[in-house]
Copies of this chain bind each other. A is one copy, B any other.
Amino acid sequence: MSQPLRLGIAGLGTVGVGVVKIVRQQAALLTMRTGREVTISAVSARSRGKDRGVNLDHYGWEDDPVKLATRDDVDVYVELMGGEDGPAKASIEAALKAGKDVVTANKALLAHHGQALAELAEASGSVIRYEAAVAGGIPIIKSLTEGLAANEITRVMGVMNGTCNYILTRMEATGQGYNALFEEADKLGYLEADPNLDVGGIDAGHKLAILSSLAFGTQVDFDGVELEGIQRVTIEDIRQAADMGYRIKLLGVAQMSGRGLEQRMSPCLVPAQSPLGQLEGGTNMVVVEGSDVGQVVLRGAGAGEGPTASAVMGDVCDIARGIRYPVFGQKADSLKRAPRAQSALPAPYYLRLGLKDKPGAMAKVAAVLGEAGVSIDRMRQYGHEDDSAPVLIVTHKTTRANLDAALAGIEQTDVVTEAPVALRIEAV
């Protein structure tokens, strides 16, 4: 039997405690499967005295995660504090410089500093593993990087923020509006401290940026993700979409074309009968399309103590087994900087306008759309009681550039009462 693999765990929130529990409760299983004992040398968190429902007496304690990360009796530094900078970044850098391996669930850190960290890890012969950073318990990082390694990946899509999917599916189920469900999610503790990370699509955007890098061999480019949150999706949009056989999901799509890498995280219409359309509540789903494998779909819990800790410990098991490869699946200096192709590929769009109740309003809208080269597939105008008439339009396939030109033109007319809402209809 080899030497034990010794962990240092920073961050004892839900996930950290889950990891401690697995190390203790599954000790025999971990040893059986990896051929090594997995132990915890020391831990670190903000408050030492707090009762976390798990006995930490046998582990060393460090107030400073940087000290934890560089302890002689730590082989793998497990970073579960989160945050794109600050102690998480400092301690991971310290761990790598000290030649330690790193396991983290920190999507923000990797989305912003992935390339620099990959280079640092390579220089010191360390690995960074981060299965828990994307889609919780679903082994998507592993599937994409290893299982599907022989495929040229053509598209990656996913619903990767459980809170947004909870809000959207509850809106449909209860008929309540966005604000009511936002409050419900808040009460249930589903929202990040900064809710915009969830409902603004940022958290899911971080995840998409990581998947893009793995799929296309590119440097992580979070700033290249077109981000749009779910805040402007109304119950009316959801009903109209349902009427047409669609559901609205906060969907991430990454796609490489001749024009470059397109990364979008935005509310989209997807067929109600598709696996993505049928996804309820907090569950996550990632769809990978490859040159040879075709479409592979993975589905599971995207958050929570057990699923996230399962992913963290899967990475620990890999390191215990000696599974090692570069941080983004290929050498850091071989990762390309892809040009950004913002919504380069055409698609149909769903538009919602509030039209002023006066003669010729609709004609103006139709004219502006036509001038921008956007043609109308279906249109409905509804009865109304105030002075804003809801108009729904489904366009034929158009580029986002043409659509944006049309929307800007429509806003410049004096016939709309608010900025138009445009949701892409994604072929999944």
Contacts and interface: CB of A to CB of B under 8 A. Distances in A.
Interface of A: 18, 22, 26, 29-30, 32-35, 131, 137-139, 142-143, 146-152, 217, 275, 278, 290-301, 304-307, 309-311, 313-314, 316-318, 321-326, 329-331, 334
Contact of A297 (B22, B147, B217, B300): B300
A29 B131 contact: no
A304 B295 CA distance: 13
Counted per complex, copies of this chain come to 2
Contacts of A329: 33
Contact of A317 (B33, B150, B324): B150
8 contacts: A26-B150, A30-B149, A35-B326, A138-B296, A139-B148, A142-B147, A147-B314, A149-B313
A139 B143 contact: yes
Contact of A316 (B148, B150, B152): B150
Contacts of A143: 139, 142-143, 147
A142 to B, nearest CB: 5
Nearest to A153: B29
Contact of A301 (B29, B142, B293, B299): B293
Contact of A275 (B149, B299, B321): B299
A134 to B, nearest CB: 12
A348 to B, nearest CB: 24
A143 B34 CA distance: 15
B300 A137 contact: no
Given A34-B149, A310-B292, A298 B298 contact: yes
Nearest to A38: B150
Contacts of A322: 322, 324
B22 A317 contact: no
B300 A293 contact: yes
